[in-house]
């Protein structure tokens, strides 16, 4: 009896003493102190186990080793990679934090493959993986967010909530997403997604120097018409010009990815069906396609994108649509010319090569009229500065007309005196033409809708990845999708437009070919 009791007591004691041991082994730490390191079988896990940092191979069966961050509970989604362009091959790998507080990634023979390039060093540096997915180097004696270095400043192809795209004007750092070379190849591809701050800030997807897609220009405190609560635009010319987004209220993991084919996709994790849902995709098709309508062209979209010309301009016969339009009457320099107002548009490309911004000016019309090479103007208010003018020169490119009132800006385009005179006469005709076109479009829309519904139902199984993403998008839209953040980030599409944008992407392609 007594020995039995002793045995029980012993095993109980054993059990209790074993628990801390057990915990120690399974619970990884979220920090790396100076002099410490992890090898390729060890991990750092953020405080509430959201993210994990360590080594992985890609492709999985290869011996190409990368240091990366991924979701701890969700398999196969890498959100950050340190050495994407310089994998460690055929060797073990170690991540150290050295004496001056820099992270260094070395192979077996001590060759450095990557290092954190912090501009200053601190005495008691520690590296910590935060629950936001940010891997930071900070002074261990201070909890402040004044990080010496952070992985959020060196993005991979993924934007996480709280992470910023764009310029830190103090350090001169410009953060952008860089696509993978291909789905299976982590190395830097040609596509980037970031903010062009030269001129008015605009989010852009670019392939090298070539603009694929341009977001809505913003100024002051952000998009004036953005209805999105989650999107955060900062425009402070002494501090930063940036875009970021905060997590959805239900706090499920979410991420925005620039994929290797140029899609910008916002994924939200659904606990319910353990899957990623894409809540908005952007691809450079339809009216989003930067060069679709050419110079002085105007793109509008009712299921299919169509290119028109700005008032006072026309398309030359036998010209490609992307060659744009030309002036009907070139007499626009001190010959009684004036401006035609076009409402509800996405302003033309407002990069520095195309615009001059005149701060603190009231009379934008006079400003533009005074310079014969000024093609158009727009007015805006900048907080702290007030009424200001934007003047366009050289080209008016990538203008989009929005059907919904109040979803665009006013643009004033310079036209010859003859155009101003004829405007009243023509408007009657224009209304009739517009009504005929609209009824045809509605008819086509209904037909396409039925056809597409049928095709969609029958094609569900065989759609490619892109199409499946779009499918998910439509389904979410039908379920009353919240106004997504990327809508704010990219363009102010109405919900109906959004269905048009994403859902009928494949249709655009066909119609483009027809149009050409």
Give the residues lining the site for ligand NAG (CB under 6 A).
Answer: 39, 41-42, 89-92, 107-109, 111, 117, 208-209, 236, 238-239, 318-320, 356, 371, 373, 383-384, 393
Report how far residue 306's alpha carbon sits from residue 401's, in angstroms, rounded to the nearest whole number: 10
Nearer to ligand NAG, 153 or 501 (CB): 153
Q: Whole-number minimum distance, CB 96 to ligand NAG, in Å?
A: 13
Q: Whole-number minimum distance, CB 56 to ligand NAG, in Å?
A: 14
Nearer to ligand NAG, 91 or 188 (CB): 91
Nearer to ligand NAG, 149 or 213 (CB): 149
- Side-chain-side CA neighbours of 205 within 13 Å: the count stands at 27
Query: In terms of DSSP H, where are the helices of 347-416?
Result: 364-369
Phi, psi (degrees; rounded to nearest 5) at 57: -110, 150
Q: Whole-number minimum distance, CB 84 to ligand NAG, in Å?
A: 13
State in Å, rounded, how far the first CA of the chain is from the last one: 95
Nearer to ligand NAG, 125 or 470 (CB): 125
Q: Whole-number minimum distance, CB 185 to ligand NAG, in Å?
A: 16
Distances (CA, A) of 164 to 80, 266, 280, 359: 14, 15, 19, 27
In terms of DSSP bridges, do strands 313-314 and 326-327 run parallel, antiparallel, or are they unpaired?
Answer: antiparallel
Contact indicator for 189, 291 with CB cutoff of 8 Å: no
Q: Whole-number minimum distance, CB 88 to ligand NAG, in Å?
A: 7
Q: Whole-number minimum distance, CB 115 to ligand NAG, in Å?
A: 6
| Contacts (Cβ under 8 Å, ≥6 apart) of 2 | none
Q: Whole-number minimum distance, CB 122 to ligand NAG, in Å?
A: 17
Q: Whole-number minimum distance, CB 172 to ligand NAG, in Å?
A: 8
Q: Whole-number minimum distance, CB 111 to ligand NAG, in Å?
A: 4
| Contacts (Cβ under 8 Å, ≥6 apart) of 414 | 332, 337, 338, 339, 368, 369, 374, 375, 376
Nearer to ligand NAG, 90 or 142 (CB): 90
At 7 the three-state DSSP class reads: helix
**Which tokens is 326 given?**
């030309």
Nearer to ligand NAG, 50 or 356 (CB): 356
Nearer to ligand NAG, 37 or 448 (CB): 37
List beta partners, residue 413: 340, 376
Nearer to ligand NAG, 266 or 327 (CB): 327
On the 0-12 / 13-18 / 19+ scale of CB atoms within 10 A, 231 is: buried
Report how far residue 491's alpha carbon sits from residue 498's, in angstroms, rounded to the nearest whole number: 10
In terms of DSSP bridges, do strands 135-139 and 165-168 run parallel, antiparallel, or are they unpaired?
Answer: unpaired
Nearer to ligand NAG, 330 or 406 (CB): 330
């Amino acid at each position: 009896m007594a020995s039995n009791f002793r045995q029980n007591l012993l095993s109980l004691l054993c059990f209790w003493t074993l628990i801390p041991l057990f915990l120690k082994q399974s619970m990884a730490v979220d920090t790396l102190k100076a002099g410490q390191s992890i090898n390729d079988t060890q991990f750092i896990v953020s405080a509430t186990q959201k993210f994990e940092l360590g080594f992985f191979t890609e492709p999985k069966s290869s011996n190409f080793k990368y240091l990366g961050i991924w979701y701890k509970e969700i398999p196969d989604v890498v959100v950050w990679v340190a050495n994407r362009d310089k994998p460690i091959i055929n060797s073990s790998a170690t991540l150290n934090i050295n004496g001056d507080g820099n992270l260094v990634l070395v192979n077996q023979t001590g060759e450095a493959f990557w290092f954190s390039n912090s501009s200053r060093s601190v005495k008691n540096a520690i590296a910590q993986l935060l629950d936001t997915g940010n891997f930071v180097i900070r002074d261990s004696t201070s909890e402040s967010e004044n990080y010496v270095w952070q992985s959020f400043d060196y993005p991979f192809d993924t934007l996480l909530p709280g992470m910023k795209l764009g310029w830190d004007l103090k350090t001169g750092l410009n953060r952008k997403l860089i696509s993978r070379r291909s789905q299976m190849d982590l190395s830097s591809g040609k596509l980037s997604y970031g903010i062009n701050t030269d001129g008015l800030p605009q989010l852009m997807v670019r392939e090298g120097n070539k603009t694929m897609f341009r977001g809505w220009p913003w100024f002051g405190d952000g998009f004036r018409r953005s209805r999105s609560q989650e999107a955060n635009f900062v425009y402070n010319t002494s501090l930063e010009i940036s875009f970021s987004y905060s997590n959805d209220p239900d706090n499920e993991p979410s991420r925005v990815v620039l994929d290797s084919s140029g899609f910008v996709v916002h994924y939200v994790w659904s606990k319910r069906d353990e899957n990623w849902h894409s809540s908005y995709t952007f691809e450079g098709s339809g009216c989003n396609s930067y060069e679709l309508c050419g110079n002085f062209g105007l793109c509008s979209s009712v299921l299919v994108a169509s290119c028109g010309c700005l008032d006072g301009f026309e398309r030359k016969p036998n010209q490609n649509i992307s060659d744009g339009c030309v002036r009907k009457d070139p007499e626009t320099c001190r010959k009684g010319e004036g401006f035609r107002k076009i409402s509800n548009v996405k302003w033309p490309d407002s990069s520095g090569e195309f615009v001059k911004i005149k701060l603190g000016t009231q009379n934008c019309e006079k400003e533009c009229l005074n310079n014969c090479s000024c093609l158009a103007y727009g007015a805006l208010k900048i907080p702290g500065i007030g009424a200001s003018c934007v003047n366009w020169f050289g080209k008016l490119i990538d203008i989009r007309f929005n059907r919904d009132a109040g979803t665009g800006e006013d643009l004033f385009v310079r036209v010859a005196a003859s155009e101003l005179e004829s405007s009243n006469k023509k408007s009657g005709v224009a209304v009739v033409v517009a009504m005929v076109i609209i009824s045809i479009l509605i008819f086509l829309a209904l037909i396409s809708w039925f056809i597409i519904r049928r095709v969609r139902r029958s094609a569900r199984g065989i759609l490619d990845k892109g199409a499946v993403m779009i499918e998910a998008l439509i389904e979410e839209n039908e379920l009353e999708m919240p106004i997504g953040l990327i809508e704010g980030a990219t363009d102010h599409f109405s919900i109906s437009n959004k269905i048009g944008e994403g859902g009928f992407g494949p249709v655009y392609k066909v119609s483009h070919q027809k149009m050409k």
